[in-house]
Amino acid sequence: MEKNYKELLHKIKAFVFDVDGVLTDGRLLISDSGELLRTMNAKDGYALKTALNNDYLVCIITGGNNNGVKTRLEGLGITDVFLNAHDKMVQMKEYMEKHSLKAEDILFMGDDMPDVPALMFAGLATCPQDAIPEVKGVCDYISHRNGGDSCVRDVIEQVMKVQGKWNVASGTKATSS
């Protein structure tokens, strides 16, 4: 029996996101010095901060190893940031144990093959519109937004609206995106 993703929104206590292809559009700008640069959407930043301000847990698990990305995410208040994660289930289980979470408490969003095990494990598997077909095939919800184009805000807003926490008052608690 197929899960209805809207019913699963009520159970979510924690959000777990990949970075490249989810919080970014997956493209890399390479500087002359070889530094890899990415862009993130301020709307996603606002939603992440709003979720944190409303007592949701937020975790980032990425195969990337960019300290600039970590600095940006920590600046939003995200303390659980796992870089250089090649088997994302290791960090997922560590995170769950640290916060006493069950799989059904977690919404995971990923876009590529390394995300598939975590997507299949999470209570609510989501992906951006431009995720690869193998990822879309295991997801409960496919955002209408692409990676880096506020797909993170899409899923956070849906969870918070269903749980009655996305409103004018919750939005004003968020400081900067």
Higher per-residue pLDDT: 34 or 171: 34
Which structural domain range is residue 122 located in? 5-173
Structure confidence at residue 35 (pLDDT) = 80
Using alpha carbons, select from 58, 116, 57 the residue that is nearest to residue 89: 116
**Residue type at 20 in one-letter notation:** D
Range scoring the smallest mean pLDDT among 130-134, 135-139, 161-165, 168-172: 168-172
φ/ψ of 127, rounded to 5, equals: -155, 160
Q: Is 1 exposed, middle or buried (0-12, 13-18, 19+ CB in 10 A)?
A: exposed
Task: Look at residue 155 and tell me whether its pLDDT is greater than 80.
Answer: yes
Task: Look at residue 168 and tell me whether its pLDDT is greater than 60.
Answer: no
What is the number of structural domains in the chain?
1
Helices (H), the chain: 5-8, 42-53, 67-75, 88-99, 116-121, 133-136, 151-162, 168-173
pTM: 0.91
Q: How confident is the model at residue 47 (pLDDT cuts 50, 70, 90)?
A: very high
User: For all residues of the chain together, what is the average pLDDT?
Assistant: 91
Structure confidence at residue 175 (pLDDT) = 43
CATH classification of the domain holding 72: 3.40.50.1000
Determine contact, residues 71/26, Cβ cutoff 8 Å. Answer: no
Helices (H), 4-83: 5-8, 42-53, 67-75
Average pLDDT over residues 83-102: 96
CA 146 to each of CA 14, 58, 110, 170: distance values in angstroms, whole numbers, following the listed order? 21, 20, 11, 25
